[in-house]
């Protein structure tokens, strides 16, 4: 008889013990998926808050008057290659994500109705990741060349489908496709336009220049701001580092705390569940000694006996992983939407970990049944079968 | 066919050594019907399980067709149990989650074995019960199922350890006649039994006492 059929029949026969083993997998899988999904949601929330409510650090040319930064159009600039230099520097590891920005006030923009406005134009260089730190997802957003993202106040004055047009430093009009009309509440960008850096540099005649670097992913407490400042200035003495937002810090702290607890909770729950499961498999071996003895008497191999337990563990591990994934995702969605208000609607199952779950949990549960399975092969068939 | 040469088996029990088999030597030829008798604790079951490949003797040899069944080749030993030997126990040891049919089918490694199941079920009046689980069977029905399981793959040797020990006289008689049928069809039998019913059949007696053949 097929080993798999034998395993399935035994699972249904010993429903309670099988169900308890299944519950251990579901619990471990659900907790892991929920914690991981919430951690991911927290990361997305942090990213959004950092982008929209302020960032950890800004790196400016030394002497920049920050009070006037948003109201003048002639702040000191520096080469955009500095971003890449910092990203590839072995001595700069205070922050992970770096975005070179050219941000100026454009005093004379004429909307399609002929009205003139003072607006903010911001050019974003594609985000650079610190090369010698572990890779993470991009924290900000990149603006593709030839397109712009228009702030809510400007968008009201531009008919749907029209391009964004502005006069360049050379007096020529430049047209850009509007890829997104931003909603209100984006701070300075409500009255501004986001460009690809190279596009804006060309319009303004400032090729290769930026006037600030946004640095994300730094928690600037316990002296790290000083550390970041020292590291930047050791490389570029002409730049200075300023801490801009405590909100983002708070969120980043929350995210790191979540990761820290997750790093403890997930292994703790999985190991506890594995231990309980191993004991249940051991108990299963004790209960099934006459069956195992009989199988040995019938000439079934040790591999066959081991397979009875390993396949059972695999089947329950797989079922538990699938159930746990959906249960954990439901928990994450329910609580995540309560906690993370900015990204509430983006919270959903993290499908990337589904594949990992259905692979990892069956394998882990097979490992938990390994010792009981080996003990099963040592059952004294003669002793068991001759009992009256 | 089967040569048992000077086998010894000792157990340690509560600090003292208990000799279950002490230099047992005999030969079983094809078609023999050997009944092993002796008082409780004389080593009958140990002898049967040793011949069945389940208890490794401390010394001595068991040769089947000239080959040591306890050779280091574990696969060969498993194959010996799977193809050459059929076991019947006092406690039927049926899989509780398999039906009568499935319990028998479990040992069938060839299609021809499976094709015989229906014939044996009919012969043992179990055909109507083929889809019942062991918990739904009487003790006699359970032992008949266990007996079919032992012989369905057409083993050379049937090792029966008190097969009628738990049965009433009527069921004992049915089982013994089935064992006799197996013998008449050319099968070799080693039977451990106290059942006077077994005296009706032609056989060779071996008496064990304190692990020695007398």
The residue to which tokens 């603006």 are assigned:
A143
Q: If you average pLDDT over residues A303-310, what whole number do you get? A: 94
Any CB–CB contact under 8 A between B165 and chain A? Answer: yes
Q: What residue in A sits closest to B55 (Cα-Cα)?
A: A382
B residues 110-149 closer than 8 Å to A (CB) = none
pLDDT at A140: 57
Strands A173-181 and A147-150: parallel
Residues 56-115 of B with CB under 8 A from A: 74-75, 78-83, 85, 87, 89-91, 93, 95-98, 102, 105-107
Q: Which residues make Cβ contacts (< 8 Å) with residue A202, sequence separation at least 6?
A: A168, A174
List CB contacts of A257: < 8 A, sequence separation 6 or more. none
At B162-185, the pLDDT tens digits run 888 888 888 888 888 888 888 998
Phi/psi of residue A326, nearest 5 degrees: -70, -40
- From the CB of residue A97, how many other CB atoms can be counted at a distance below 10 Å? 24
Chain B environment of A12 (Cβ under 8 Å): 97
In whole angstroms, give the CA distance from residue A325 to residue A305.
30
- Label residue A120 exposed, middle or buried (CB < 10 Å: 0-12, 13-18, 19+): buried
Q: Name, in order, each residue with C-beta under 8 angstroms of A264's C-beta and a sequence gap of 6 or more.
A: none
Whether residue A223 has pLDDT greater than 60: no
Q: What is the pLDDT of residues A4-13, one digit of tens each?
A: 999 999 999 9
Report the CATH fold assignment for B2-213: Rossmann fold (3.40.50)
Q: Which residue of A has its CA nearest to B151?
A: A298
* Distance between CA atoms of residues B37 and A347, nearest Å: 76
Q: Taking a C-beta distance cutoff of 8 angstroms, is the pair A9, B97 a contact?
A: yes
Q: What is the pLDDT of residue B198?
A: 65
| Higher-pLDDT residue of B203, A351 | A351
CB contact under 8 A, B96 and A13: yes
- What is the bridge-based pairing of β-strands A192-196 and A147-150? antiparallel
CA angle A353, A354, A356 (to 5 degrees): 60
- Report d(CA A374, CA A310) in Å as an integer: 10
Tokens for A166?
């502005």
Chain A residues whose beta carbon lies within 8 Å of the beta carbon of residue B87: 297-298, 385
Question: Which residue of chain B comes nearest to A12, CA vs CA?
Answer: B97
**Total beta-carbon pairs less than 8 A apart between chain A and chain B:** 70
3-state secondary structure (DSSP) of residue B62 = strand
Q: For residue B161, what are the CA distances in angstroms to B75, B104, B158, B165?
A: 25, 19, 10, 9
* Element housing B104 (H / E): helix B100-105
8 Å CB contact of B52 and A9: no
The predicted structure's pLDDT at residue A261: 79
CA proximity to B106, closest of A101, A22, A295? A295
**A6–B106 C-beta distance less than 8 A:** yes
User: Is pLDDT of A33 > 50?
Assistant: yes
Which residue of chain B has the CA closest to A3?
B106
**pLDDT for the residue numbered A53:** 47
In the predicted structure, residue A272 carries a pLDDT above the cut 70: yes
A9: chain B residues, CB-CB within 8 Å: 97-98, 102
- What SS3 string covers chain A? CCHHHHHHHHHHHCHHHHHHHHHHHHHHHHHHHHHHHHHHHHHHHHHHHHHHHCCCEEEEECCCCHHHCCCCCCCCCEECHHHHHHHCCCCCCCCCEEEEEEEEEEEEEECCCCCEEEEEEEEECCCEECCCCCCCCCCCCCCCCCEEEECHHHHCCCCCCCCEEEECCCCCEEEEEEEEECCCCCHHHHHEEEEEHHHHHHHHCCCCEECEEEEECCCCCCCHHHHHHHHHHHHCCCEEEEECCHHHHHHHHHHHHHHHHHHHHHHHHHHHHHHHHHHHHHHHHHHCHHHHHHHHHCCCCHHHHHHHHHHHHHHHHHHHHHHHHHHHHHHHHHHHHHHCCCCHHHCCCCCHHHHHHHHHHHHHHHHHCHHHHHHHHCCCHHHHHCCC
SS3 state of residue B158: strand
The pLDDT value recorded for residue A134 is 60
In the prediction, which pLDDT does A148 show?
Answer: 93
From the candidates B46, B87, B157, which should be mutated to test the interface with A, based on the most A CB atoms within 10 A? B87
* Residue B97 to residue A296, Cβ atoms within 8 A: no
Among A294, A312, A379, which would you mutate to test the B interface (most chain B Cβ atoms within 10 Å of its Cβ)? A294
* Band of pLDDT at residue B193, cut at 50, 70 and 90: confident
pTM, 2 dp: 0.67
Residue A278 in contact with residue A269, Cβ under 8 Å? Answer: no
Q: Check if the beta carbon of residue B64 is closer than 8 Å to that of residue B50.
A: no
Q: Which of A13, A299, A385 has its CB closest to that of B89?
A: A385
Distance from CA of A367 to the nearest CA of B (A): 25
Contacts of B165 in chain A (CB under 8 A): 388
Identify the pLDDT of residue A220: 46
Spatial distance between the Cα atoms of A365 and A311, rounded to a whole number of angstroms: 10
> Residue B38 — pLDDT band, cuts 50, 70, 90?
confident
Q: What is the pLDDT of residues A177-221, one digit of tens each?
A: 999 998 887 777 888 999 999 999 999 999 999 988 888 765 444
- Is residue A54 scored above 50 in pLDDT? no
Average pLDDT for A374-380: 90
Chain A residues with CB under 8 Å of B89 CB are 385-386
Residues written for chain A: 388
Judged against a pLDDT cut of 50, whether residue A357 lies above it is answered with: yes
Cβ pair B166, B94 in contact under 8 A = no
Which chain B residues touch A15 with a CB distance below 8 Å? none
Q: Show me where the domains of chain B are located.
A: 2-213
Q: Which residue has the higher pLDDT, B205 or B103?
A: B103
Give A-chain residues touching B83 at CB under 8 angstroms: 299
Tell me which residue of B172, B194, B161, B205 sits closest to B36, measured CA to CA.
B205
Q: Characterize the bridge pairing of strands A78-79 and A209-210.
A: antiparallel
Q: Is the pLDDT of residue A245 over 80?
A: no
pLDDT of residue A136: 57
Torsion of CA A302, B104, B183, B46, to 10 degrees: 40
Kind of pairing between the strands at A116-124 and A192-196: parallel
A53/A66 Cα distance (integer angstroms):
17
Residue B161: its chain A contacts at CB < 8 A?
385-386
Among B78, B81, B97, beta carbon nearest to A13: B97
Residues 158-197 of A with CB under 8 A from B: none
């Amino acid at each position: 008889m097929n080993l798999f059929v034998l395993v399935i029949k035994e699972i249904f026969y010993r429903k309670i013990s099988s169900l308890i083993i299944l519950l251990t997998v579901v619990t471990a899988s659900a907790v892991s998926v929920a914690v991981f999904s919430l951690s991911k949601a927290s990361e997305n929330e942090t990213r959004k808050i950092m982008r929209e409510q302020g960032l950890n650090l800004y790196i400016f040319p030394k002497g920049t008057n920050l009070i006037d930064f948003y109201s003048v159009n002639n702040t000191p600039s520096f080469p955009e290659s500095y971003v890449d230099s910092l990203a590839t520097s072995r001595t700069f590891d205070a922050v992970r994500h770096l975005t070179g920005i050219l941000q100026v006030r454009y005093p004379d923009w004429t909307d399609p109705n002929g009205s003139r406005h003072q607006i903010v134009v911001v050019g974003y260089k594609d985000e650079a990741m610190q090369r010698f730190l572990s890779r993470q997802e991009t924290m900000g957003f990149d603006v593709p060349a030839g397109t712009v993202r228009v702030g809510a106040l400007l968008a009201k004055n531009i008919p749907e489908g029209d391009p964004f047009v502005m006069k360049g430093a050379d007096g020529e009009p430049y047209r850009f496709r509007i890829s997104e009309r931003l909603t209100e509440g984006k701070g300075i960008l409500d009255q501004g336009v986001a460009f690809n850096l190279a596009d804006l540099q060309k319009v303004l005649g400032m090729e290769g220049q930026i006037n600030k670097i946004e640095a994300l992913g730094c928690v600037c407490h316990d002296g790290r701001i000083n550390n970041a400042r020292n590291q930047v200035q050791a490389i570029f003495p002409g730049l200075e580092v300023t801490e801009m937002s405590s909100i983002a810090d708070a969120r980043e702290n929350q995210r790191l705390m979540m990761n820290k607890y997750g790093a403890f909770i997930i292994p703790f729950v999985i190991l506890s569940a594995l231990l309980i499961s191993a004991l249940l498999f051991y108990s299963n071996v004790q209960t099934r000694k006459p069956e195992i003895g009989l199988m040995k008497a019938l000439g079934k191999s040790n591999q066959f006996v081991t397979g009875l337990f390993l396949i059972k563990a695999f089947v329950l591990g797989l079922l538990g992983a699938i159930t746990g994934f959906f249960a954990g995702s439901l928990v994450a969605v329910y609580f995540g939407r309560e906690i993370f208000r900015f990204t509430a609607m983006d919270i959903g199952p993290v499908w990337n970990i589904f594949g990992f779950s259905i692979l990892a949990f069956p394998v882990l549960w097979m490992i938990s049944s390994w010792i009981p399975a080996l003990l099963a092969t040592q059952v004294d068939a003669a002793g068991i079968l001759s009992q009256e | 066919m089967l040569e048992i040469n000077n086998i010894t088996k000792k157990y340690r029990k509560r600090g003292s050594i208990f000799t279950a088999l002490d230099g047992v030597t005999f030969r079983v030829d094809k078609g023999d019907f050997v009944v092993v008798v002796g008082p409780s604790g004389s080593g009958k079951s140990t002898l049967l399980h040793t011949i069945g490949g389940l208890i490794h003797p401390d010394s001595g040899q068991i040769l089947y067709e000239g080959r040591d069944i306890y050779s280091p080749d574990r696969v060969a030993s498993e194959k010996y149990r799977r193809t050459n030997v059929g076991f019947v126990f006092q406690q039927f040891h049926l899989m509780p989650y398999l039906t009568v049919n499935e319990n028998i089918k479990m040992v069938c490694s060839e299609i021809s074995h499976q094709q015989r199941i229906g014939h044996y079920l009919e012969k043992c009046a179990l055909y109507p019960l083929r889809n019942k689980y062991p918990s739904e069977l009487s003790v006699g029905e359970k032992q008949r199922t266990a007996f079919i399981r032992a012989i369905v793959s057409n083993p050379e040797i049937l090792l029966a350890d008190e097969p009628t020990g738990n049965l009433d006289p009527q069921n004992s008689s049915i089982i013994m006649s089935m064992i006799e049928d197996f013998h008449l069809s050319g099968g070799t039998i080693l039977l451990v039994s106290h059942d006077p019913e077994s005296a009706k059949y032609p056989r060779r007696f071996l008496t064990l006492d304190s692990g020695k053949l007398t």
